[in-house]
Structure 1
Amino acid sequence: MNLSIIIPLLNEKESLPELHQWILKVMHENNYSYEIIFIDDGSTDHSWETIQELSQKDANVKGIKFFRNYGKSQALHAGFAKAKGDIVITMDADLQDSPEEIPQLFNMIAQENYDLVSGWKKKRYDHVVTKNLPSKLFNWAARKTSGVYLNDFNCGLKAYKNLVIKNIEVSGEMHRYIPVLAKNAGFSKIGEKVVKHQARKYGESKFGIDRFINGFLDLITIWFISKYGKRPMHFFGALGVIMFVLGFLSTGFIILFKMIKLYSGFHTILVTQNPLFYIAITSMIIGSQLFVAGFLGEIILRTKNNEERYKIATEVNL
């Protein structure tokens, strides 16, 4: 079986030669047929020049350079599109992921027939407050919401069957939820392996506390897309009908109550002077808008074009 190793990166010039040598050692020890695809996500520190140098020394090294920073999901998407290996490994370029884990991940796909295996950094060397605690909370919420019971959704070290990466759409900031995307696409055999995590050797982390805020927002997005992405009318239409009917019935009740009072000889205030009347009307308007939103969602879903989400400046060995 052939192996593709996909490595997205941003300003990791110092790490790349050492990472390449480490991967090379593992590949030769296990006699793997392999390719290494580096995706330079808009680096400004000569990372691309380093990739070019490595590609000249090693024909198995391939590279993709973006015009600017588009994000890790877009980098993985570009790598997935180019990957030719039967088994695909993704890992970070900062030397915190160990290439020594690759053989066991490879075997779990090749021999145990997993569709996807996700790494679990059980012992971490990140800052407790800014990364470890938010990560635990995030992973708990992701498990409860998605139904995919992994301990570490954020781990960049993962292994896939080629069939999986060719049948999932990684966009926005959805790289955290690739196991969920795989499950939604029908790949149900998802495993997990405890992997060694190492302290960052060069530079600084490109991710801060804000990634967990974005992660929770993305979690809500993927939950909605998983449930209603192919049928937005089922959500917006149902909610719109409920609000419209409640508003309509409330308005009818207010008018009927007014008429009963008049026929009984009681003096009552005008219907338009009753605050409940305006609440009911507002409910009907919002219900109508939600219903229309459902129709628009259906129209967009059926007419959308696949937009280019990133621009590739140049490639090497591809």
Structure 2
Amino acid sequence: MRGRISPTVSIIVPTLNEARNLPHVLVRLPHDAEIILVDGHSTDDTVEVARRIRPDVIVTHQNRRGKGNALACGFAEASGDIIVMLDADGSADPAEIPAFINALEAGADFAKGSRFVKKGGSADITRIRQVGNHLLNHLVNMLIGSEFTDLCYGYNAFWRRIVPVFDLERGRVSLEKQWGDGFEIETLINMRAVRAGLRIAEVPSFEHPRLHGASNLNAFSDGFRVLRTIFVESSASNKGSAPDTRWESEQVPPTQRRAAAVLALHGQRNQSEAVALASGESRS
């Protein structure tokens, strides 16, 4: 009898001058996983270090600035059944990856890391960031009926087939950040996952302090970007239409693109039901 075939895994690692941290991160990643390093044009030897440690690493460069754009570029390159989002600064523990995979294999579409559930935690988050996260988290739950415990955390995993639901194509090259290009990316995909009716499971995760270097996160400016994302995405849901996002060159409206993805995930739905679900009118 043939043995069980495990899903393949792609790990997306956004980097910007992380040469000192990568030796501690890449050596702990599964040897059989596809590692996609998305570099933001580092000025140190980030890429060279990555290739020395993991000769099989796939290196690509983002076409704009910001973590969100880096992830979108990485998602487009991934070939695994499951995609894992992993920070390069050592804050996310690679040993937790099996727990995310187990949640997906148990039936979830999207496995969301949480520092604020039992067995989760953080040795890095500041008091002001924790308060801000809780307030934003409560606001999103109230506006869209979600049950998140940790809105602004970037350690997540999901089946690659749901990527179209997020509507995060690479888009055009630009020197300026566009909609969803920054740290608000986690909030954006979390809210769109809910609006698409995906099965979401929270996975306990412990956040460690950054190993070396300074974080690019700014609690105030990034917090405002997250707040804007919340209101734009929830407003689109209330109006029954998708927000006017950065993809100006796309000919197909975002709601219809996400509806097509919903149809692919939930074949039992008809076209009108899928459009309603993609725009947030229904969560059946």
> Structure 1 stretch 175-184 or stretch 120-129: which is displaced more?
120-129
* 1:104-123 paired onto structure 2 within 5 Å: 104-110=99-105, 112-122=106-116, 123=121
Going from structure 1 to structure 2, the CA distance change for 1:76 and 1:118 (only over 3 Å counts) comes to same
Q: Aligned pair 1:204/2:210, yes or no?
A: no
2:202 is aligned to 192
1:25-49 deviations in whole A, cap 9, x for unaligned? xx25xxxx42011111232223233
Which of 10, 15, 32 is equivalent to 1:4?
A: 10
Q: Is 1:88 aligned to 2:83, yes or no?
A: yes
Where does structure 1 lack aligned partners over 5 or more consecutive residues?
233-296, 308-318
Q: Determine the structure 2 residue equivalent to 1:63.
A: 59
* Change in CA separation of 1:229 and 1:2 when aligned onto 2, cut-off 3 Å: same
TM-score, normalising length from structure 2?
A: 0.72
Shift of 1:183: 2.4
Residue aligning to 1:19 = 25
Instruction: Please give the alpha-carbon distance, in whole angstroms, between the structure 2 residues aligned to 1:224 and 1:46.
Output: 43
* Structure 2 runs not aligned, ≥5 long: 1-6, 169-178, 252-284
Deviations 1:233-253 (A, max 9, x none): xxxxxxxxxxxxxxxxxxxxx
Superposition pairs for residues 243-262 of structure 1, below 5 Å?
Answer: none
Contact preservation (8 Å) 1:40, 1:63? yes
- Aligned letter for 1:117? A
Equivalent position SS for 1:155: coil
Contact 1:39 1:79 (C-alpha < 8 Å) held by counterparts: yes
Aligned residue for 1:264? none
Query: Does 2:58 correspond to 1:48?
Result: no
For residues 50 and 250 of structure 2, the distance between their equivalents in structure 1, rounded to whole angstroms, comes to 30
Backbone CA RMSD of aligned residues: 2.5
Secondary structure in structure 2 of the residue aligned to 1:38: strand
Distance in 2 between the 1:127 and 1:101 partners? 19
Q: TM-score, normalised by structure 1?
A: 0.65
What letter corresponds to residue 80 of structure 1 in structure 2? Answer: F
Q: Identity of counterpart residues, as a percentage?
A: 26
1:86 maps to a residue whose letter is: D
Deviation for aligned residue 1:116: 0.3
**What is the number of residues matched between the two proteins?**
227
Letter paired with 1:58: P
| Partner AA of 1:305 in structure 2 | S
Match of 1:158 among 156, 167, 186: 156
Q: Give the conservation status (yes or no) of the 8 Å contact 1:81–1:166.
A: no
Q: Tell me if the contact between 2:12 and 2:37 (Cα under 8 Å) persists in the aligned partners.
A: yes
Deviation at 1:17, TM superposition (A): 1.8
Distance 1:225 1:53 in 2: 46
Larger radius of gyration: 1
CA contact (8 A) 1:7 1:39 kept: yes
Query: How far did 1:87 drift?
Result: 1.1
